[in-house]
Amino acid sequence: MAARQPIVVEVLRGPVVESIHQVMAVIVNESGHQLQAWGNPQFLTTPRSCIKMLQALPLLESGAAEKYQLEDDFIAMACSSHRGEKEHLAVLQRWLEKVGITESKLVCGPHLPFDEKSAQEMLRRGQQPTPVCNNCSGKHAAIITTCLHLGEDPAGYEKYEHNAQKRLRKVLSEVMRVDHSKVAVGVDGCSLPTYAVPLQALATGMATFIDAKQSAVRKAALERIARAVRAYPHLVAGTDNFTTDVIEKTQGRVLLKSGAEGVFAGVIPEKKIAFALKAADGSARSAQMAAVYLLAYSGVLTSADSHALAKYIQPVITNFKGEPVGQIRIAKAV
């Protein structure tokens, strides 16, 4: 039965509640049927990067990954919001060289690596960030690779009417069961279209990974994506990152992905459930705390998992000297 109230996340400084965030969330079974919800499961949101594992499907289903003999580390990068660490950039450079893609073809735009150490090192060397440093560059490499395999000109692949975007709309419509040609569309930070869909549709899309009623081609693609993410969690995000740590510490029993503006989507195969959540105010910290709550609620975390993820389960706020001065906690959830 759906809960009426959202998950409430409190941020404390000392004994004082300094901030309050509300997070909407939904859990579905393998058929996409709603099992539990907090707040409004029909809330419209743009998924941003949390559906990259689904956006990687055309790379596998088209035969592009097979043609270019892309290993699992490339597939993990296609699903990533990487932090621009050396390993990330090295895999991407190998990918571009293997397929014959010049970096200038990536339209995601450059930014400094999200990993602070990597960014500082780049600045010390006087280097300028390039499109490969963009945290979405793996997804862009996947789209271009698919276009080349199909004999299409990838120029303009970010445009709504390009065949690449038509393919993505088709796949997302199928897995989310929402016609993406009829929904509101915006532009993501990496220049690609992003579509406004109900929160439950995000969870339904992720449930595709556990839905046995899939074609043989799609099932094989989903299994390959899941295998790659499990094998290379560090490539999916990076060092000291919640997404990477959850996948790694649970040994892939939990697959999840974050998106900008406080969105998460994930799947827990052993429990045969998938979930999605959205912080009403776009807060990343509250979305992460709510994701922790959903994992605990599902019963997927072992005592060893909880110990390994302790800094996320009981997050502490520190001052600039590293001293604890507050905490983030779940204040209200049904």
Question: What's the CATH number where 277 sits?
Answer: 3.40.710
Tokens of 189: 């930070």
Segments in the chain below pLDDT 50 = 1-2
- Per-residue confidence (pLDDT) for residue 332, from 0 to 100: 65
Half-sphere exposure of 7 (CA within 13 A, CB side): 26
Is residue 244 a contact partner of residue 236, using CB atoms and an 8 Å limit? yes
pTM, rounded to two decimals: 0.95
Is residue 24 a contact partner of residue 262, using CB atoms and an 8 Å limit? no
User: 93 lies in a domain?
Assistant: yes
Question: How far is CA 124 from each of CA 116, 118, 127, 130, 133, rounded to the nearest angstrom?
Answer: 12, 10, 8, 16, 16
User: What residue has token string 């406080």?
Assistant: 262
- Per-residue confidence (pLDDT) for residue 264, from 0 to 100: 98
User: 179 lies in a domain?
Assistant: yes
Tokens of 289: 């705390």
Tokens of 266: 């994930």
Position 130: which residue type? T
Between CA 279 and CA 25 the distance in angstroms is: 9
User: 2 lies in a domain?
Assistant: no
Is residue 201 a contact partner of residue 175, using CB atoms and an 8 Å limit? no
Tokens of 101: 């893609």
Is residue 91 a contact partner of residue 97, using CB atoms and an 8 Å limit? no
User: 174 lies in a domain?
Assistant: yes
149 phi and psi, to 5 degrees?
A: -60, -35
DSSP states of 270-321 = GGTEEEEEEETT--HHHHHHHHHHHHHHHT---HHHHHHTHHHHS-EEE-TT
User: 143 lies in a domain?
Assistant: yes
Is residue 287 a contact partner of residue 79, using CB atoms and an 8 Å limit? no
Quote the domain boundaries for residue 113: 7-332
Question: How far is CA 116 from each of CA 124, 241, 315, rounded to the nearest angstrom?
Answer: 12, 12, 21
- Per-residue confidence (pLDDT) for residue 4, from 0 to 100: 74
- Per-residue confidence (pLDDT) for residue 117, from 0 to 100: 96
331 phi and psi, to 5 degrees?
A: -95, -35
Between CA 61 and CA 79 the distance in angstroms is: 15
- Per-residue confidence (pLDDT) for residue 333, from 0 to 100: 56
Between CA 227 and CA 206 the distance in angstroms is: 15
User: 1 lies in a domain?
Assistant: no
**What's the structural domain count of the chain?**
1
Question: How many C-beta atoms lie closer than 10 Å to residue 15's C-beta?
Answer: 6
User: 237 lies in a domain?
Assistant: yes
